[in-house]
Amino acid sequence: MTYDVTIVGAGHNGLVAACYLAKSGLKTLVLEAREVVGGGAVTEELHPGFRCSTLDHAVGPISSQVVADLNLARHGLEMITPEARVLALAPDGRALCIYDDVGRTVSEIEKFSANDAKSYPEFVNSFSRIGRVLAPLLGMTPPSIDQPTKTDLWHLGKVGLAFRGLGKRDEYRLLRWAPMAVADLVGEWFETELLRATVAARGIHGAFAGPWSAGTSLGLLWQAAMDGSAIGSASYPKGGMGGLTQALANAAKAAGAEIRTSARVSQISGAYSDKPKVVLDGGEEIETRVVISNADPRTTFLNLVDPIDLEPNFLLKMRNYRAPGVVAKINLALDGLLSFRGVDDHKKLFGRIHIGPEIDYLERAFDASKYGEFSSDPYLDINIPSLGDPSLAPEGRHVMSVHVQYAPYKLKSGDWATRSEEFANNVFDKLETYAPGIRDLIVGAHVITPLDLEQEFGLSGGHIHHGEQTLDQFFTFRPLIGWAQYRTPLKRLYLCGAGTHPGGGLTGLSGANAAREIARDFKAGKV
Ligand SMILES: Cc1cc2nc3c(=O)[nH]c(=O)nc-3n(C[C@H](O)[C@H](O)[C@H](O)COP(=O)(O)OP(=O)(O)OC[C@H]3O[C@@H](n4cnc5c(N)ncnc54)[C@H](O)[C@@H]3O)c2cc1C
């Protein structure tokens, strides 16, 4: 049987692309290496009776357009949005909670600094205004640099007009902020270290960069484009992250797509010709009119495609595409609810919990990974999803998801196989200082190192975003300049994953944008 479209990988972007393409009438097959669909967005049993989002713990946010187009609520998606976005903890037992509600946040900040409380509303409003101008870029195919089409120019013109509408002060801010180190940006707005570090965290999340690295403010601008706020979102689906991808899989199947799990692709061949083929581990060959890779760019071009099919120049650029992972994940099954020092109201724990109280703390944590060592004082981004969704753990018990940064993919001394226990103990020690007694509550733990991210989840270099999201790997440069429109040098091979614009995070937009371009090529008879 020949398929119109075969998608390698059932991450959320692969599933989004499958939904749109199957809906447009194309015979669509999705092949997923793991036994579950979802990629970064999966819920799995971590200990008998305890289920946790294995990797991601808060949704990007997912594009509202994608949710509406694919009718995800009808297919089972139910979102939980805590009032608190992030609770930041300080070592002296003080805590600062940032809510969606600006007034409530100002009252919290007032306990630390009257000046910061005064600055905060304008900080929020400015990012919200700028975010509205940038938002249309997310759902846009980046323009061709060499031969921009009329549509490219039209879209860019609209963004240009919106930019002019911002007014001089925000225009200047936007141009100035993008290349800035996030530590400088937050230093201009706030004097409280805890607030500075908590806001700056969005700029370094998942990045091989510290707050003093140039260009890290881009993460805040991109977050504002995605959901109007510079601070990371905290909402998650009922049933954990798998709730999102199960809804997408249901929508894809309802649209006619076929999904196969435990189907690892070992080779994409002949994609330069009219007869591409996908070969599975075990040798099965699948004929298809086009192949779409949801795997990251390095995996796609350096592992799945025969190098003979690619120009040496392209291969060289792809080898230089940077994807140095710095994140590990620890999921815990807890025998009861832990208590954090200085936190009296448990509702504050429903969003993200941030440990990384100062800019210098975050920079030092990055320093360690720069020199091939995991940080003894890591930046932790924590979520306790069972607080909002009791279905995840037995009554009175909890699951806790801990994103640990910085943990470099390549260790200078030893390796992950021999050092993961030491790494986990180091994280438990850090948690113990903020939540005394946590060790006694742990009944199960799942430690996922950057090497596991590569070997088990297919993420090259263990990079959580399929490659660094720096200015040189962004928008028209993602993954490479000249190849940012989801097409590749191989006529019948496309990309649809987070290594394409608009990049990492559970937005569904890489999948949606890619599907639009691919459907267009089918309609024009190009494939
Ligand atoms: C530890 C961690 C924490 C994160 N936290 C968050 C978060 O809280 N919020 C957020 O928005 N984002 C988070 N991210 C980022 C988010 O997971 C990614 O941006 C997102 O998953 C990208 O989606 P995708 O569909 O493009 O790719 P992926 O989710 O990576 O899916 C790619 C799929 O392709 C499959 N695949 C790869 N190779 C093959 C092959 N040869 N054959 C068949 N299948 C293959 C993989 O198994 C996988 O299922 C996190 C990522 C990690 C790793």
Residue-level pLDDT, tens digit, the chain, 527 residues: 699 999 999 999 999 999 999 999 999 999 999 999 999 999 999 999 999 999 999 998 999 999 999 999 999 999 999 999 999 999 999 999 999 999 999 999 999 999 999 999 999 999 999 999 999 999 999 998 888 899 889 988 988 999 999 999 999 999 999 999 999 999 999 999 999 999 999 999 999 999 999 999 999 999 999 999 999 889 999 999 999 999 999 999 999 999 999 999 999 999 999 999 999 999 999 999 999 999 999 999 999 999 999 999 999 999 999 999 999 999 999 999 999 999 989 899 999 999 999 999 999 999 999 999 999 999 999 999 999 999 999 999 999 999 999 999 999 999 999 999 999 999 999 999 999 999 999 999 999 999 999 999 999 999 999 999 999 999 999 999 999 999 999 999 999 999 999 999 999 999 999 999 999 999 999 99
**Torsion angle (degrees, nearest 10) of CA 19, 20, 22, 24:** 160
List the structure tokens of 31.
């092949």
Q: Output the pLDDT for position 20.
A: 98
Among 342, 355, 502, smallest CA distance to 429 is for 355
Residue 63 is classified by DSSP as P
**Which ligand 1 atom sits closest to the C-alpha of 383?**
8
Rounded distance between C-alpha atoms, residue 199 and residue 48, angstroms: 36
Do β-strands 327-334 and 352-355 pair in parallel, antiparallel, or remain unpaired? unpaired
List the structure tokens of 443.
């009944």
Rounded distance between C-alpha atoms, residue 53 and residue 38, angstroms: 11
Asked if residues 225 and 131 have their Cβ atoms less than 8 Å apart, the reply is yes
Q: Determine phi and psi for 26, rounding to 5 degrees.
A: -85, 140
Kindly report the pTM of this predicted structure: 0.97
Asked if residues 206 and 464 have their Cβ atoms less than 8 Å apart, the reply is yes
List the structure tokens of 478.
């993602």
Measured by CA distance, the residue closest to atom 10 of ligand 1 is 505
With a 6 Å cutoff on the Cβ, whether 10 touches ligand 1 is: yes
What's the burial of 256, exposed, middle or buried (CB within 10 Å: 0-12/13-18/19+)? middle
Handedness of CA 470, 472, 477, 480 (dihedral sign): negative
Please give the C-alpha separations between residue 13 and each of 245, 301, 452, 460, in angstroms, as whole numbers.
9, 18, 21, 17
With a 6 Å cutoff on the Cβ, whether 385 touches ligand 1 is: no
CA of 39 to the centre of ligand 1 (A): 4
Q: Within 13 Å of residue 180, how many CA atoms lie on the same side as its CB?
A: 18
CA 343 to chain centre: 28
Q: Which long-range contacts (CB under 8 A, 24 or more apart) does 311-319 make?
A: 311/489, 314/480, 314/489, 317/480, 318/479, 318/480
CA of 271 to the centre of ligand 1 (A): 24
Q: Output the pLDDT for position 145.
A: 84
Q: Output the pLDDT for position 361.
A: 98
Helix/strand/coil for 272: coil
CA 84 to chain centre: 20
Amino acid occupying residue 499: G
Rounded distance between C-alpha atoms, residue 197 and residue 199, angstroms: 6
Q: Which residues contact 5 (CB under 8 A, 6 or more apart)?
A: 18, 21, 26, 27, 28, 29, 288, 289, 290, 291, 292, 518
Rounded distance between C-alpha atoms, residue 506 and residue 498, angstroms: 9
Amino acid occupying residue 155: H
Measured by CA distance, the residue closest to atom 4 of ligand 1 is 56
Q: Which helix (H) or strand (E) holds 292?
A: strand 285-293
CA of 373 to the centre of ligand 1 (A): 24
**Which ligand 1 atom sits closest to the C-alpha of 61?**
11
What's the burial of 283, exposed, middle or buried (CB within 10 Å: 0-12/13-18/19+)? exposed
Q: Output the pLDDT for position 156.
A: 87
CA of 453 to the centre of ligand 1 (A): 9
Q: What count of other Cβ atoms lies within 10 Å of the Cβ of residue 253?
A: 17
Q: What count of other Cβ atoms lies within 10 Å of the Cβ of residue 146?
A: 7
Render 337-355 in DSSP notation, one character per residue: ----TT---GGGGSSEEEE
Handedness of CA 130, 136, 140, 143 (dihedral sign): negative
Rounded distance between C-alpha atoms, residue 323 and residue 410, angstroms: 12
With a 6 Å cutoff on the Cβ, whether 407 touches ligand 1 is: no
CA of 288 to the centre of ligand 1 (A): 24
Measured by CA distance, the residue closest to atom 35 of ligand 1 is 9
Q: Which residues contact 472 (CB under 8 A, 6 or more apart)?
A: none
CA of 396 to the centre of ligand 1 (A): 31
Rounded distance between C-alpha atoms, residue 223 and residue 21, angstroms: 28
Do β-strands 442-448 and 43-47 pair in parallel, antiparallel, or remain unpaired? unpaired
